[in-house]
Structure formats: C-alpha cells, structure tokens
Amino acid sequence: MFHQNKSFWHYFSNSEKNPKNLKYITALGGNVDFNTKTWYNTLAIMTNDPFKSGFLWVLKQLAKLEMSKHKNALVIGITGSSGKTTTKELLVALLAPFYKHRLKFTKRGNSETGIPFEILDIPVKKYPYWKYPLILLQALGTVLLTRKKFDIFVVEYGIDSPQNPGNMEYLLSIVRPDISILLSITAAHGERFEAFIDPATPPSKRVIAIQRLIAEEKAKLLTATKTPSHAFVTKQAAQFLPAEKLHHWTVLEASDSTFHLDSLYNTSEGCTISVQLPDGLVNTVIPGVALSNAAKSNLQFGLRVLSLLKKNLRVALKKLPEHFKPEPGRSSLLPGEKNTLILDSSYNANPLAAIELFGIVKELAKKGKRKKVIVLGDFRELGEQSEALYKTVIKEASAVADTLVLTNNLMKTYGIPAAEENGFVHNQNLYWFENGRQLAFHILEVVEENSVVLFEGSQDTVFLEYAVKELCAQKEQQYIEKNIPRMTPDWISMK
C-alpha cells in the first residue's frame, strides 16, 4: 500500500525488494524506466512538505521573471567541488574595473534557494516557515518595482545531490550560463550519490564511481552553456569526464594567445602573481591572502573570460588588489599571538582544498623559518568513503606538520589513528579537542612561538573561528568581525 507520508528514499532504496515501489516513486513525482527498474530525471521536488515545495516553485518563477528583465546580460556560471568562491571573487575583481555598478554576482547563495534569493536581492539566510509568504511578497516587489540593470551576472552553482531540487538540472532551470567552468571533482557531498552506484561495484572502485557521478552531474553546467567552446574545465576535473565530451569544451591551460601565467607564490604579506602579456610582464601583490596552486586555474579562467570580452588584461591585473576582497576564513593571513602567522581557512572545508593548503603552510614556513601547526576540524558529507579520505588528508598533513591539532568526533574516530600511524604521539605533537570552542582555551598552549598555523574545518559544530579569534593578535571587535568568519552579531545569533 502506498503511504504518502513515506519518502521517495524509502521506496527507492527498497525498490529491488519490491518492484511495486517503483510505481510509488512516480506517485511521489519521480520518473521511472520500468525496463531497467531505475528512476531518472526527477522533475518534481522530492519532498513530503508541500508548503516548502510550493514556496520553492513560486520563488523560482519569480527569479526567472526577474532574469527576463535582463535578457542581454552575460551569465557566467561556476561549479566544482571546491574553489567556486575564490574563482568567483577573482573573476569579479578582474571584471570590476570595466563594469563597476553593472556587475552582479552571487555573494553567499549557490543553491535552490540561494540563487533565487541573490537574483531577487533577498538576504541569503535560513528563514522560518512563517516568513515564506513575506519573502515571496518582497520578491514580487523586486520583480515589479526595480529597474536596476546589470550587464554581467556571475553565478556559483552548488549542487549536493543528483536529485531535485539539489541537482544541477534544477539550478539550470532558474538561470543558464553563457560562459561556464567546472573547477574540481572530489567526494564532497558524496554520501548523497551513494544510492545511485551499481551495487555490484567493488569497494575499491566505489570512490571513483561516486566521483564520476558527481562529475557527470556538475558537467551539466557545461552542457547547458550556449556556446560549447565557452565551457571551460580544469585538467583535474577533466579526468573524471568522458573523452568525447572534452572535444566540445575548452580544457584550461596556463596560457593562451594573450597571456601566460608565469608564477604564483606566497609570503607572510600576501600573494604575488606574475603574468606575461604580449607587451611585458605584470606583477601583482594581493595583500592579506594566500592562494594555492589550484588558484592558478581560477585566475586562468578569469583571464580567459577577459580575453573573450576583449578587455585590457594589464589594467585588470594592476587593479586586482583593489577589488579582490575574499571573505574571512578563505585563506586569510592574520597576525597571531606569540609571533605566529595564521592561515585561516576555517570558513569551510574540503579534502582536496585542505591538501592544497598544506603546500602553502610549507611555503610560508620555509620563508620565515617557522614551525608548522595544522589544525583540522571535521570534514562533512563524505559518506562511506569518509575513513579513506580522512586517512589521505592526515597522511598529507603529517608529511608537512610539526604539530597536528584535531577537533570534533570524526577527527577523533579517523584522524587520531591515522596520525598515530604516521608517527605522531598524543599530547606531544598530536592533540584532540571536542570542538573549536574548547580548543580556544588551549590554543596558546599547543602552538609554539613563531609558527605558521593553518585552521581548516567545516561549518556548524566545528567552530574553529573561536580558536582563530583567541590566537589572533588583534583583539578589537571591529577587526574580529571583519577578518574572522561567523563573528558578526547575525552569525553569532544563528549558532
């Protein structure tokens, strides 16, 4: 018997035991291939909450109406398992000298609610149900009353599922790109793809199978790009895609006919970028931030976009320090107590991004003859491959760090054994704390004088920002709110 109060996942996960469940999937809004007994291309939102489903549907229609007022705007779409925000911020900074007030970009939203909120100029945050009608009224007001125009709209596309509304197909139904990039593929959010792997896949191949599914979903952004040659993909992401697809898209290289990315290196003062242009070398120093090797792809994409738009690359690069202002906790460099240098990446975490950051720690420590401390909080939504990914991250961290500091339960379960396997000794050069709040009471004890200290961890219950605040040499509240993530009053009220 079909029960409306049971979820799509209940029937899908039990469809092999009871083929009738496939019919129930269609009743919940899914589409099913009854020959292969699989579901596909879910066109309805899989939720048991009709109020929220209705809210999302109306919100999407209003966002599409608002975009219809900007038919001539160039839409640039960015996706990937990591690096989306840095790429967006670099690209916006490169475009800013030429478009000024006619440049729009997603600030915090990249999801089924976030992108419409950004289009409709609604602050991106969690709202209680009772505010949904008020939000829709505000959105309608934006559609009917605003006359502000923009020439370019830079959009982050963040997916966390192959299923509506968290998939790429749903986001593309809101806004479709003219230029796009797929940056990277990792197993982040992989737990939501596990149900779609062939059950016969051997354990040793399940991680790569998940990554290929994620790549397939994210690559829909490239397929939807109006001009295929304007769809870009990095070499890292390309390895997960079919070779025949790559013939239509552009794989990013370090140079093209208009530029060559010569070097990118970090010091305690910031990041120095050198780009060779036809009329000579351009050196740009971005203060207060460190960029990893992965950022080369971010910058390459930005320069390729400028080349397509026939903009002056020298002007854009010279003005980059003026316009590139990354959000706090995204590879920020901060002065610390005990003459330490803080590399704060506590805004969010991803295994691939973390490993890239270890190289920056090594680079900064070598130039300053500093000790290396790596602080890692939990990585979330990794699913069944969690243990393997934690082991990989800890192994890479162990090859760089003099001291490892771990927080939260998953790091206790997977991180501590992995660190001990790599020669670290508990309470000597290996420490564990319940979360960042507890670490804040002890951070000055576990960090040596003149160290480089990396903070990397997911959001929510990890709270590494409190340890960053305690170690930071600047204690003024205004400085803390401006330079450390989730320290403003509105963020604190949500914790």
Q: What is the pLDDT of residues 39-67, one digit of tens each?
A: 333 333 445 688 889 999 999 999 999 99
Report the alpha-carbon distance of residue 92 to residue 103 in Å, rounded.
8
What local confidence, expressed as pLDDT, does residue 294 receive? 85
Structure tokens at 443: 């951070």
H helices, E strands: number in the chain: 23, 18
User: Which of 211, 232, 251 represents a domain boundary (last residue)?
Assistant: 251
Whether 73 shows a pLDDT value over 60: the answer reads yes
Report the alpha-carbon distance of residue 85 to residue 107 in Å, rounded.
9
Whether 405 shows a pLDDT value over 90: the answer reads yes
Report the alpha-carbon distance of residue 121 to residue 439 in Å, rounded.
38
Q: Is residue 377 part of a domain?
A: yes
The CATH number of whichever domain residue 359 belongs to comes to 3.90.190.20
The residue among 434 and 495 whose pLDDT is bigger is 434
What local confidence, expressed as pLDDT, does residue 471 receive? 98
25 and 80 housed in the same domain: no
Residues of the chain with pLDDT > 70, as a percent, come to 90
Report the alpha-carbon distance of residue 262 to residue 154 in Å, rounded.
26
Report the alpha-carbon distance of residue 17 to residue 23 in Å, rounded.
13
14 and 111 housed in the same domain: no
Model confidence band, residue 273 (pLDDT cutoffs 50, 70, 90): very high
Can you tell me the mean pLDDT for 73-85? Answer: 95
Can you tell me the mean pLDDT for 116-137? Answer: 94
Identify whether the C-beta of residue 339 lies closer than 8 Å to the C-beta of residue 450. yes
The CATH number of whichever domain residue 182 belongs to comes to 3.40.1190.10
419 and 473 housed in the same domain: yes
Q: Is residue 137 part of a domain?
A: yes
Task: Give the burial class of 58: count Cβ atoms within 10 A of its Cβ; 0-12 exposed, 13-18 middle, 19 or more buried.
Answer: middle
What local confidence, expressed as pLDDT, does residue 13 receive? 43
Residues of the chain with pLDDT > 90, as a percent, come to 71
Q: Is residue 312 part of a domain?
A: no
Nearest to residue 60, comparing CAs of 119, 109, 106, 103? Answer: 119
Q: Is residue 320 part of a domain?
A: no
Can you tell me the mean pLDDT for 285-306? Answer: 92
Whether 34 shows a pLDDT value over 90: the answer reads no
- Integer-rounded Cα Rg, in Å, for the chain is 23
57 and 186 housed in the same domain: yes
Which range marks the domain in which residue 21 is found? 8-40
66 and 154 housed in the same domain: yes
Identify whether the C-beta of residue 187 lies closer than 8 Å to the C-beta of residue 351. yes
Whether 417 shows a pLDDT value over 60: the answer reads yes
Report the alpha-carbon distance of residue 196 to residue 416 in Å, rounded.
31
C-alpha 314, offset from chain centre? 28
69 and 212 housed in the same domain: yes
Report the alpha-carbon distance of residue 263 to residue 258 in Å, rounded.
16
What local confidence, expressed as pLDDT, does residue 44 receive? 38
Can you tell me the mean pLDDT for 358-384? Answer: 92
Structure tokens at 227: 């001009």
423 and 345 housed in the same domain: yes
Report the alpha-carbon distance of residue 107 to residue 121 in Å, rounded.
10
Residues contacting 364, CB < 8 A, separation 6+: 266, 267, 268, 290, 341, 343, 370, 452
Q: State the angle between helix axes of 50-68 and 132-145 in degrees (0 to 180), rounded to the nearest 10.
A: 10
**Degrees to nearest 5, angle at CA 359 with 354 and 363:** 140
**Degrees to nearest 5, angle at CA 113 with 124 and 103:** 60
Q: Is residue 315 part of a domain?
A: no
Identify whether the C-beta of residue 302 lies closer than 8 Å to the C-beta of residue 259. no
Q: In this structure, what DSSP letter does residue 457 have? A: -
Q: Is residue 263 part of a domain?
A: no
Model confidence band, residue 492 (pLDDT cutoffs 50, 70, 90): confident
Q: Is residue 154 part of a domain?
A: yes
**Degrees to nearest 5, angle at CA 78 with 77 and 82:** 165
385 and 464 housed in the same domain: yes
Whether 20 shows a pLDDT value over 80: the answer reads no
Over residues 454-482, the pLDDT tens digits come to 999 988 789 999 999 999 999 999 999 99
Can you tell me the mean pLDDT for 23-49? Answer: 40
Task: Give the burial class of 124: count Cβ atoms within 10 A of its Cβ; 0-12 exposed, 13-18 middle, 19 or more buried.
Answer: middle
What local confidence, expressed as pLDDT, does residue 495 receive? 65
Identify whether the C-beta of residue 150 lies closer than 8 Å to the C-beta of residue 73. yes
What local confidence, expressed as pLDDT, does residue 7 receive? 40
Q: Is residue 325 part of a domain?
A: no
Model confidence band, residue 489 (pLDDT cutoffs 50, 70, 90): confident
72 and 197 housed in the same domain: yes
201 and 339 housed in the same domain: no
DSSP letters of 306-346?
HHHTT--HHHHHHTHHHH--PPTTSSEEEEEGGGEEEEEET
In sequence order, what are the beta bridge partners of 374?
404, 454
- Full-model pTM: 0.85
204 and 347 housed in the same domain: no
C-alpha torsion sign, points 146, 225, 304, 184:
positive
| Kind plus residue range of the DSSP H or E element containing 277 | strand 270-277
Whether 99 shows a pLDDT value over 80: the answer reads yes
Residues contacting 336, CB < 8 A, separation 6+: 342, 447, 453, 471, 472, 473
Report the alpha-carbon distance of residue 401 to residue 405 in Å, rounded.
10
Q: Tell me the pLDDT of the chain averaged across its residues.
A: 88
What local confidence, expressed as pLDDT, does residue 276 receive? 94
Per mean pLDDT, which range of 7-21, 42-56, 238-252, 359-373 is the poorest?
Answer: 7-21
| Kind plus residue range of the DSSP H or E element containing 427 | none
What local confidence, expressed as pLDDT, does residue 207 receive? 86
Pairing between β-strand 430-433 and β-strand 103-105 as defined by DSSP bridges: unpaired
Please count the structural domains in the chain.
3
What local confidence, expressed as pLDDT, does residue 35 receive? 35
132 and 36 housed in the same domain: no
Over residues 205-263, the pLDDT tens digits come to 888 999 999 999 999 999 999 999 999 999 999 999 999 889 899 999 766 778 998 99
